[in-house]
Structures are given as structure tokens and as C-alpha cells.
Amino acid sequence: MKLTERFQLGFQVLENRMVMAPMTRSRALNNIPNDLMAVYYRQRNGAGLIITEGTAPSPNALGYPRIPGIFNKEQTNGWKRITDEVHKSRCKIFVQLMHTGRVAHPDNMPEGARVLAPSSVPLSGTMYTDENGEQPYPTATPMTMNDIEHTIREYRVASANAMIAGFDGVEIHGANGYLVDQFLNPCTNKRDDSYGGSTENRCRFALEVAKAIGEEIGFDKLGIRLSPYGVFNDMESFEDIENTYVYLAEELGSLGLCYIHIVDHSSMGAPEVPWRIKSLIRNAFGRPVIASGGFDKEKAERFLEEEKAELISFARPFLANPDLVYRFKEGIALNEPDPETFYTPGKKGYTDYPFADD
Ligand SMILES: Cc1cc2nc3c(=O)[nH]c(=O)nc-3n(C[C@H](O)[C@H](O)[C@H](O)COP(=O)(O)O)c2cc1C
């Protein structure tokens, strides 16, 4: 089985080609990683690589309730306990840096934090807050040049913290309508300065973030997640989409990032992501690709055999099956995930999914 073969990612060896995809689980009370999270991640350390839930590099990035941060000492120390647990096997673990940008509500954020975005394009619908239930999204404040510079510095500091916390690398969340994606897409980026308008300008923020992090920790320890044609958080397709992703992938390839992780949410009811854009990104980048979305063992094996990706990530299958790798190896049936407990605090639906050997 190709899925269980080792893989050289940058300078690191992954024990197998199965990646646990990033999943927000909202168990980080006060935004601090805790011992319950350490149990959850340790249970899943049969993966070749774990990518953590979206983690805030800034107080301004704490858009959702109970998501962890990595911008202060307490958070960094919390993560250190988690990476120590995960490293009890040969599993590697990257932290996903997620800046929520306009997808945020002040009720979820610490005092003084700001809802920032490239432009003040409102988001439809509501966001859940622990304090006041569902609330309409506020309209974000457009970022000044100073805000942009400051935010890039926050990514850099968060990445330095990630190294202190014992992470093997960092994944930039450049997907799903969060801040980096808000810059890439003209439906959310209406700027007329050097960060908006042309392909190069819209990609500038993503590339500057990548450069800052890579210079801090090494480009071989840095990956990025992208979601071309994604519609989550009100995102839309746009005319220049192929050019944008080809240019971005070429530039990320020249910087020497260790992977691009391509999102496809068609298994969750989103429109199909055309194979063409995935293959354009893969060719332009010229380095390892992680394919994600709707994979089971057979589809994943086929993808690897056909050389459509080097690594495959699994989200819901890992959520519900801590011993997913063992189950795949032995051909054991999988537990079903329970969406009711995806984001609820506590152990239920988090650390109590049964192992096959229980
Ligand atoms: C509970 C849950 C939380 C998620 N949180 C994140 C996240 O923090 N960052 C991210 O990039 N994707 C997130 N995703 C998307 C998954 O990484 C993945 O792309 C999606 O679930 C499709 O993969 P699957 O079919 O293997 O589940 C989340 C998905 C789920 C189910």
C-alpha cells in the first residue's frame, strides 16, 4: 500500500503518506492549548503528518470561539505539551496559522482586538458566539499599510513561537475565505494600492507572509493551504483565477515551500474543483502536493498510484478514527463522525471515539 510508505518532505521523513487535515475543534478554552487537546492529538499520532486546527497568530485572528492562539507565552507553552505527546511516535506536526480576517465577531475576541480585512466587504449570515449566540457579522475595517506590516510581523513571531513549541513546521491557511484568501480574491479585495488589483498585487500579501515565515523558520518547514474555486465564507470564482493560482504557485515554488495543500470541499456539498486548476498548481509549483477532501483508502491509493499527489490528507476520517492508519492497514471498518460534537467543548465526540482494539 503506497499510503503507508515513507515520504521525504523537505529534510524530514514522514512515516507514511497519510496526513491529518487541519480541523478546528473549539476545545481551547481562553484560546490556550490544553491537556485534553494533547490527548486528542496524541491519539492520532499514527499519521505521517498532523496539521493542527487553525491557530491564531494574533488577537485579531481569533474570530471563532475557543480556537487556540500561538502569539503569547502561555499558548506557546500549551502547544509544547502537545507536540511532546505527538512526538512519542515518529509523527510530525505542523501548526496551521489561521488569520480569520473578516470572518470574525468581537464577542469571540479579546478586548482591543480588531476585525480586519483587505477591504470592508460585508459577509452575509451570522457567526456563533459563546456570549450572545448567533450574531450578524460586523463589517471589517480595511487594513492600512501599517496594519499589513504589523500583521506580517505577527505571522513571523507566531512562527518563531511554533519552533519554541516544538512544531516540525508551519502551514499558512491561505484557503476557505480567511485573511490570506481575502487578499487573493477580487470579490473581497477591492484595494487600489500595491495589495490589490493586478494578479501580482493580490498575491503580494500571501507571498510576503510566506517570505517572512520562511526566513524565520526555513522554507523547507513551510507549507500553504489553498482553495481555488472555494465558496466557503461567501467566496466566489473570478475571471483571473487560473493566472492567480499559477503565478502564486510559481512564486511559492521559487521560495522553496515544502508543499501546497489543495482544498476540495465537493465531498461537503461545495461545487466540484476542476482537475485543471489542481494540475496547473501542481505543475507551476513543481514540489510536493497534498490532496484533500473526500478521500477513502481506495481513492487515496489510486491518487498516489496515478501520481496526482504525493500525500493525501483526511479530515473527518481522522476525527472519528484516531487509529485510522491501523484501520487502513488491517482493512477494519471506520467509525462515523458526529457533526453535533465537532465544535462543542469537552471530551464527547473529541477523545472518546473508539479504537479498533478497544
Ligand atoms: C470540524 C471541521 C473543522 C475544520 N477546520 C478546518 C481548519 O481549521 N482549517 C482548514 O484549513 N480546514 C478545516 N476544515 C476542512 C478540512 O480540513 C477538510 O478540508 C474537509 O473536512 C474535507 O476533508 P474530508 O472529506 O477528509 O473531511 C475543517 C473540517 C471539519 C470537518
Q: Which H or E run includes 161?
A: helix 145-164
Structural domains for the chain:
2-341 (3.20.20.70)
- pLDDT tens digits for the chain (358 residues)? 899 999 999 999 999 999 999 999 999 999 999 999 999 999 999 999 999 999 999 999 999 999 999 999 999 999 999 999 999 999 999 999 999 999 999 999 999 999 999 999 999 999 999 999 999 999 999 999 999 999 999 999 999 999 999 999 999 999 999 999 999 999 999 999 999 999 999 999 999 999 999 999 999 999 999 999 999 999 999 999 999 999 999 999 999 999 999 999 999 999 999 999 999 999 999 999 999 999 999 999 999 999 999 999 999 999 999 999 999 999 999 999 999 999 999 999 999 999 998 7
Which residues have a Cβ under 8 Å from the Cβ of 8 and sit 6 or more positions away?
A: 14
Rounded Cα distance, 337 and 174, in Å: 26
Residue 20 Cα to ligand 1 midpoint, Å, equals: 10
Rounded Cα distance, 259 and 222, in Å: 7
DSSP state of 354: P
Rounded Cα distance, 208 and 113, in Å: 23
Residue 22 Cα to ligand 1 midpoint, Å, equals: 6
Q: Are 236 and 200 in contact (CB under 8 A)?
A: no
User: Whose CA is closest to atom 16 on ligand 1?
Assistant: 315
DSSP state of 235: -
Residues with a CB atom less than 6 Å from ligand 1: 21-24, 53-54, 96, 98, 173, 175-176, 225, 263, 265, 267-268, 292-295, 314-317, 342
Per-residue b or e along 160-199, where b marks 16 or more CB atoms closer than 10 Å to that residue's CB: ebbbebbbbbbbbbbbbbbbbbbbbbbebbebeeebbeeb
Residue 193 Cα to ligand 1 midpoint, Å, equals: 33
Residue 291 Cα to ligand 1 midpoint, Å, equals: 13
User: Whose CA is closest to atom 29 on ligand 1?
Assistant: 23
Q: Which of 40, 64, 178, 247 is the catalytic position?
A: 178
User: Whose CA is closest to atom 6 on ligand 1?
Assistant: 23
Q: What is residue 209's three-state secondary structure?
A: helix
User: Whose CA is closest to atom 10 on ligand 1?
Assistant: 22
Rounded Cα distance, 177 and 337, in Å: 24
Grid coordinates representing 21 are 487535515
Distance of CA 134 to the CA centre of its chain: 24
Residue 195 falls in the annotated catalytic set: no
Secondary-structure breakdown of the chain: helix, strand, coil percentages, each rounded to the nearest 5: 40, 15, 45
Grid coordinates representing 253 are 515554488
